[in-house]
């Protein structure tokens, strides 16, 4: 029996409501496909921050290190500034565990209405690959002359050859397994040092993948293409900032943010990877039992796929598609009246059969 050790961090708000449904579905998959999933729960969250002044204990990362993966809900709550919840938990995990790939599939599923008038299920199916460890999100920089007329702020962008090459290679490899088409997000007309470097590496690495068709667009027109012709994309790769923007826009064009999954991967498997829905803690609906658990459940499928448990992952994805075409199993964000728990149970039921 394959055994996997999973660190579970529900976090805040609806994270606490959707994670149990993710586990319910994982348990159903484990039973059907004879896996052993061994969970350890961690209460690290903004609530913990209120009590202890820390998002996680000082040795938090070494506590997580032995696990096969981390299954996260969402962190963030009113009263705790977002940079504390982010830099106190998520970013240290992503960076120290070299989870340099942020992978977000964008697929229009049956039963979900896209805000795009002419979008049809099956036509939109691509992946955003975001660089997750360096780039524009660095803490190098500072402010001087605070509060005076000469006040100034500087923030450095960090592009290393190692960091850029490894994310590009991951994206090329992924494209090779799919429709063999890779699009790069750039802005080398305005950002004249780092972006030409990114483009240059894209060209050079591309030579190793002659079977993959490539193109590149400046980020501004690329966002327009996501809306006007999303069906042309297969894999889209971008720096931390551009990838961040694209990986919210992508899920938005295929319906509710409540459905979108993501993975923070350490492809070398030297460290645990982390799986979480794209959405945050949604304080506006927290506690009402109406959050859509599908983003969390789909993230669970991505985790099983990362373990190599393809059949179990496929079963979960199929169950999600089945449930989405059944109006009684839709949460309010996708036009229904069902509760978080009803949807979770419906998916678990189908996975178990």
Positions touching ligand NAI (CB under 6 A) are 14, 18, 74-77, 82, 90, 257-258, 276, 279-285, 291-292, 295, 333
Task: Identify the three-state secondary structure at position 215.
Answer: strand
Residue 244 binding: pick among Mg ion, ligand NAI, none (C-beta 5-8 Å cut-off by kind): Mg ion
In the complex, least distance from residue 173 CB atom to ligand NAI, rounded to whole angstroms: 25
- Strand spans (E) along 55-140: 69-74, 101-107, 125-131
DSSP bridge pairs for 36: 3
In the complex, least distance from residue 273 CB atom to Mg ion, rounded to whole angstroms: 18
Residue 258 binding: pick among Mg ion, ligand NAI, none (C-beta 5-8 Å cut-off by kind): ligand NAI
Instruction: Considering the complex, state which of residue 28 and residue 72 has its C-beta at the smaller distance from Mg ion.
Output: 72
Residue 291 binding: pick among ligand NAI, Mg ion, none (C-beta 5-8 Å cut-off by kind): ligand NAI
Could you say whether residue 131 binds Mg ion (CB under 5 A)? Answer: no
Instruction: Please state, in angstroms and rounded to a whole number, the distance separating the CA atoms of residues 90 and 81.
Output: 14
In the complex, least distance from residue 246 CB atom to Mg ion, rounded to whole angstroms: 10
In the complex, least distance from residue 293 CB atom to ligand NAI, rounded to whole angstroms: 7
Q: Are 165 and 201 in contact (CB under 8 A)?
A: yes
Instruction: Considering the complex, state which of residue 268 and residue 284 has its C-beta at the smaller distance from ligand NAI.
Output: 284
For helices 15-33 and 294-307, what crossing angle results, to 10°?
40
Residue 76 binding: pick among ligand NAI, Mg ion, none (C-beta 5-8 Å cut-off by kind): ligand NAI
Instruction: Considering the complex, state which of residue 30 and residue 282 has its C-beta at the smaller distance from ligand NAI.
Output: 282
In the complex, least distance from residue 255 CB atom to ligand NAI, rounded to whole angstroms: 11
Residue of 179, 8, 11 lying closest to 86 (CA atoms): 11
In the complex, least distance from residue 248 CB atom to Mg ion, rounded to whole angstroms: 5
Which region among 7-15, 30-38, 238-246, 310-318 touches Mg ion (by CB under 5 A)? 238-246
Backbone angles phi, psi at 331, to 5 degrees: -80, 165
Q: Are 265 and 212 in contact (CB under 8 A)?
A: no
Instruction: Considering the complex, state which of residue 82 and residue 215 has its C-beta at the smaller distance from ligand NAI.
Output: 82
Instruction: Considering the complex, state which of residue 19 and residue 26 has its C-beta at the smaller distance from ligand NAI.
Output: 19
Instruction: Please state, in angstroms and rounded to a whole number, the distance separating the CA atoms of residues 338 and 331.
Output: 5
Q: How many residues bind Mg ion (CB under 5 A)?
A: 1
Task: Quote the Cα angle for 171-173-178, to 5°.
Answer: 90
Could you say whether residue 276 binds Mg ion (CB under 5 A)? Answer: no
In the complex, least distance from residue 94 CB atom to Mg ion, rounded to whole angstroms: 12
Instruction: Please state, in angstroms and rounded to a whole number, the distance separating the CA atoms of residues 123 and 108.
Output: 7
Q: Are 281 and 76 in contact (CB under 8 A)?
A: yes
* Distances in whole angstroms, Cα of residue 40 to Cα of each of 5, 7, 72, 321, 350: 8, 5, 12, 29, 26
Could you say whether residue 244 binds Mg ion (CB under 5 A)? Answer: yes
Backbone angles phi, psi at 246, to 5 degrees: -65, -30
Instruction: Considering the complex, state which of residue 94 and residue 201 has its C-beta at the smaller distance from ligand NAI.
Output: 94
Backbone angles phi, psi at 298, to 5 degrees: -65, -35
In the complex, least distance from residue 254 CB atom to ligand NAI, rounded to whole angstroms: 14
Q: Are 188 and 158 in contact (CB under 8 A)?
A: no
Q: Rule CB under 5 A: which residues touch Mg ion?
A: 244
């Amino acid at each position: 029996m394959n055994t996997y050790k999973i660190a579970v961090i529900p976090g805040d708000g609806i994270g606490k409501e959707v994670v149990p449904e993710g586990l319910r579905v994982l348990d159903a998959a484990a039973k059907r496909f004879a896996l052993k999933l061994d969970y350890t729960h961690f209460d690290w969250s903004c609530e913990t921050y209120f009590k202890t002044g820390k998002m996680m204990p000082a040795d938090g990362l070494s506590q997580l290190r032995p696990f096969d993966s981390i299954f996260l809900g969402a962190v963030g709550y009113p009263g705790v500034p977002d940079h504390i919840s982010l830099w106190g938990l998520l970013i240290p995990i992503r960076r120290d565990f070299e989870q340099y790939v942020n992978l977000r599939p964008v697929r229009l599923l049956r039963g979900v209405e896209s805000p795009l008038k002419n979008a049809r299920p099956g036509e939109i199916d691509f992946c955003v690959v975001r660089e997750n460890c360096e780039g524009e999100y660095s803490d190098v920089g500072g402010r001087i002359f605070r509060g005076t007329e000469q006040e100034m702020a500087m923030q450095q962008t960090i592009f290393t050859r190692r960091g850029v090459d490894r994310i590009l290679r991951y994206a090329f490899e992924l494209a090779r397994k799919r429709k063999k088409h890779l699009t790069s997000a750039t802005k080398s007309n305005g950002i004249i040092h780092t972006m030409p470097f990114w483009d240059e590496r894209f060209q050079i690495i591309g030579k190793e993948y002659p079977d993959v068709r490539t193109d590149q667009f400046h980020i501004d027109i690329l966002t327009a293409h996501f809306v006007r012709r999303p069906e042309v994309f297969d894999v889209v790769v971008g720096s931390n900032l551009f990838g961040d923007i694209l990986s919210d826009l992508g899920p938005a064009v295929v319906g509710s943010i409540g459905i979108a999954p993501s993975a923070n991967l350490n492809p070398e498997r030297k460290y645990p990877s982390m799986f979480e829905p794209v959405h945050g803690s949604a304080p506006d609906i927290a506690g009402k039992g109406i959050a859509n658990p599908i983003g969390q459940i789909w993230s669970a499928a991505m985790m099983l796929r990362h373990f190599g448990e393809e059949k179990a992952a496929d079963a979960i994805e199929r169950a999600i598609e089945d449930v989405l075409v059944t109006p009684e199993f839709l949460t309010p964000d996708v036009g229904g009246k069902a509760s978080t728990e009803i949807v979770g149970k419906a998916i678990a039921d189908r996975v178990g059969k």
